[in-house]
């Protein structure tokens, strides 16, 4: 069965967005077993003190910013749930800065790291959760007042966060 014209166009847009690079950065396809030697940007630290890395995954024709863990996979927030993927991309970048923000602010200069099927840009954010002892990354979009991170099969919401800027 052929796809309607609208869906063919959206598929092309998603492929183009997925191949974009900004400055001296690049997104590369990754698997859990190769992650530690990839040179990927570290996003934080998980409860076991192992690093997490800036990642993005494809889910239901959306490109979702999330996290990746060595030998485990990648996760992203999706409609109040956590989705796990074995195939994902990680960010390789020369310069990364995390800018403090809160209540929906996305700092000037932040680059999208994902996109919803409807064209809404998504940005990588991270939070420090002192009760869970994690520094974890997730996503935020314009019009949303919280950073959404994947956590224990659901999405955890944080009004105070940092937004990633990179070159």
Site of tokens 């959306």: 62
DSSP letter, residue 49: S
pLDDT mean over 81-93: 93
Q: For residue 11, tell me if it sits in a domain.
A: no
Q: For residue 13, tell me if it sits in a domain.
A: no
> Nearest 5°: phi and psi at 4?
-60, 155
DSSP letter, residue 36: G
Distance from the Cα of residue 29 to its chain's centroid:
14
Q: Coil, strand or helix: which one is 154?
A: strand
pLDDT mean over 78-85: 91
pLDDT number for residue 134: 66
pLDDT number for residue 6: 40
Instruction: Please write the tens of the pLDDT for every residue from 125-159.
Output: 999 887 666 678 889 999 999 999 888 888 889 99
The pTM for the full model equals: 0.81
Range of the domain at 155: 25-166
Residue 71: name the closest of 115, 112, 33, 124 by CA. 33
In angstroms, the CA 101 to CA 147 distance is 10
Q: For residue 7, tell me if it sits in a domain.
A: no
Q: For residue 12, tell me if it sits in a domain.
A: no
Q: For residue 3, tell me if it sits in a domain.
A: no
| Number of domains making up the chain | 1
């Amino acid at each position: 069965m052929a796809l309607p014209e609208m869906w063919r166009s959206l598929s092309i847009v998603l492929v183009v967005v997925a191949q974009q690079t900004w400055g001296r950065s690049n997104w590369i396809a990754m698997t859990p077993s190769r992650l530690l030697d990839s040179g990927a940007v570290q996003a934080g630290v998980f409860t076991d003190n192992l690093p997490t890395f800036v990642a993005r995954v494809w889910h239901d024709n959306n490109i979702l910013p999330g996290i990746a863990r060595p030998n485990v996979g990648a996760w992203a927030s999706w409609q109040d749930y956590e989705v796990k993927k074995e195939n994902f991309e990680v960010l390789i970048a020369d310069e990364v800065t995390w800018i403090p923000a809160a209540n929906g602010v996305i700092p000037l200069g932040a680059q999208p790291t994902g996109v919803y099927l409807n064209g809404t840009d998504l940005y990588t954010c991270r939070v420090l959760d002192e009760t869970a002892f994690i520094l974890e990354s997730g996503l935020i979009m314009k019009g949303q007042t919280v950073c959404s991170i994947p956590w224990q099969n659901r999405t955890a919401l944080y009004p105070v966060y940092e937004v990633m800027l990179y070159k």
